[in-house]
Chain A
């Protein structure tokens, strides 16, 4: 049985569940420790390095990190990673002098970026400090894309957006607002020459629900467009009774916006049952707190319109019975749910009417461009896609991750290095031992429960659109929440040759992670451990055979608290607590031959 290869960057990275789950691989435990020390600016910079928009994401991220958080497996609820990010952003000092510097001498390459959303902004953020000239074409009057026009301001205040986008545009990006690109051919052939083009236009079209009666009234809206109209002030009121069809995150924004525009009865309709609701659990919770009603098992049939006035929507209703991962629905009958306005929020689609189909950019059977998942390059060399424009609707953090990868590709492409030869991730591992029982991190386990975010009173929040609902953690809440983090990046590092098999680590481990066992195939090993390890998603560390008995040390990574007691009780330092820092590849880390830069 081979020894676990901890030299591979992925092994320890995967132990840091949050960082592994984050598309941008933000170093979560590190920034939480910095917050714990009151070093908000440092925490912000650690965040910014990977996710670029800590203040925005600290309010709106879809948080793939939180379901992955080890704390969930220990006490049932994850660390409030996202809202701690906001703490760093809210309490930081002026960090402008810590932003990457843009060189006075440019490198002579010019990049066109289409759409000023998170993907394009990330590309510009990565390329500007390398001396590139970046031009962003934006159809609207302001940058931010979906972050600005689709996310209501009660969730994301405009100042936060302006500040963080400003850090990037302030690098000297050539921002061309109100300049929609109507033709990619024109851009490619136009008077300006670009060394590469990045398409970050998002998924701009809300999906239609063209049932009978759709166009017989003026009170049926597409959610995405409706939110934009609210943002631009074109919509300032709504009917008293509002029906939202669809139950994703856009639907949640729609129903909460409707409450602020004066609707008093807001109902969200889901075709299946509650557990199929696509919205993030916390967004659903926030909507329900605002007295939004959820209707399950309703399939829309037609819009009911009486003399040009929308009066309701007719639905087929069903009963539902659980059948494994799915449900079985049986029809019950039809009913009309009365309403004054309908918002359709059943998804978004990509649309590229402005890309000519003879440019060498291959479109697939769903009429979306074929884009390489790793390099983000389309089938036309030098044209890259990222964000929702690349692989369909995702969320901001994915767009940021795409932006970083596309920036690497663009940098290599512009210097004649194949985009497929990507810089490899690396890592550092350093001991946190400070003394006999002292570690460079707070290793004690804090039993406190997840802190609850305080919300503005219901009555107050409906007065205007822009009152931010979440008030942020107080100092006391922050102090408690940071201690919930298990410091999963501080790894239990084992040196086989030092172990004397005294059992001290096994005896002290509070969660029975460790076992000394005779070598056995991996399949049977999982059932022979001190505590069973059925979760194959979580790695087992296995050592080489040890010198005294030939047994191997096995560690189940699953619910290790990273308390360091194994290392404290180890007489020979065979166990050590070592901090893992992932060195993520970024644009500029590629080896560029001198001749490629003209030297």
Chain B
């Protein structure tokens, strides 16, 4: 017997969401990743989040580049649109897809190699443009597909499976995103779905570029003693600073006054993000202080997780470009392409 397809049988008590689908309806093909890969847990969190939000799968576009992480869109939402692009070029394809059909909920899944090495430029410009995209970076610190070389996110001093030490400074995608002015920056851990699922839901509702760096251990090449991206290390050093609870618009919010540690952020679609500060001195609204806090805690070996920074009100790419509400693909052809006469008229203006 080779791989089994996951039996379609489900628990008789499995409930359906607002559009009548079960969680199983949001699954995809059977994973071909290693047993125990963190990416599979991220996949499960994505499935859970889309199911809870009752998103019709066919209104989703899922995109990726190359790498273990980039295989994962095959494993969720089998009825969604998808594009598996060339290495590191997912942001461009996502940008184009978003321009053509702004009604699609876009989710891009990338990895530390795809985003921080070959695709670093693309990653940076997608942030700069504030493309309306949920960008998940499954970060394991190694090139798993090529047998475990250090990636650009490997921490200095962390050990490879063979025992070699990494001498180079890591690129921290969260700090990069903050530097470039990302409006939604979070870090989470594949082994902590209680934190990850609401973050994915909030990221989907966020208008603009929502970035979640997910520490997702490579069970085959980077889960040993001396690794700083292993299950055990992450569990030991993870410190959640802001817990986000996502409350969709249709759910009534209790009238009680938020406690000191609670802040509510209303997103553009009317849903609410309820932020619970776990650490007292952290303010996710203040980008500079967030940056400083992350840097400072890193010196102490802590990995800050949660919704690290959120800013609402910034215009996304479609807003910056003053695109119409109507998705471009629905705009009648003669309006979208007014013909040779209109072109000639336009060109005359530049003469």
Contacts and interface: CB of A to CB of B under 8 A. Distances in A.
A501 B231 contact: yes
B265 interface: no
A542 to B, nearest CB: 19
Given A437-B3, A502-B191, A511 B9 contact: yes
A236 interface: no
Interface string A525-552: 0000001100000000000000011000
A549 B235 contact: yes
A83 interface: no
B342 interface: no
Interface string B199-224: 00000000000000000010110010
A317 B326 CA distance: 72
B36 interface: yes
Interface residues of A, number: 37
A470 to B, nearest CB: 29
Interface stretch (B38-46, B52-60, B162-170): B38-46
A549 B219 CA distance: 18
Interface stretch (A2-10, A15-23, A164-172, A569-577): A569-577
Given A502-B38, A503-B44, A548-B231, A443 B1 contact: yes
Query: What's the dominant secondary structure at chain A's contact region?
Result: loop
A74 B13 contact: no
Interface stretch (A140-148, A209-217, A560-568): A560-568
B7 A571 contact: no
B274 interface: no
Nearest to A534: B13
A502 B41 contact: yes
B2 A510 contact: no
Contacts of A34: none
A571 B9 contact: no
B346 interface: no
Contacts of B6: 508, 510, 565
Contacts, number: 101
A444 B4 CA distance: 6
A445 interface: yes
Contact of B36 (A445, A559, A564, A569): A569
A445 B10 CA distance: 12
25 contacts: A73-B12, A437-B2, A437-B4, A438-B1, A442-B1, A444-B1, A445-B7, A445-B9, A447-B7, A447-B9, A500-B223, A501-B235, A502-B37, A502-B41, A502-B191, A502-B217, A503-B41, A507-B44, A508-B40, A510-B10, A531-B11, A548-B235, A549-B235, A570-B36, A571-B220
Given A447-B8, A503-B191, A506-B44, 19 more contacts: A73-B12, A74-B9, A437-B2, A437-B3, A438-B1, A438-B2, A443-B4, A447-B9, A500-B219, A502-B37, A503-B44, A504-B40, A508-B40, A531-B11, A563-B4, A565-B4, A571-B34, A571-B220, A571-B223
Interface of B: 1-4, 6-14, 24, 34-38, 40-41, 43-44, 190-191, 193, 217, 219-220, 223, 231-232, 235
Interface of A: 73-75, 437-439, 442-445, 447, 500-504, 506-508, 510-513, 531-532, 548-549, 559, 561, 563-565, 568-572
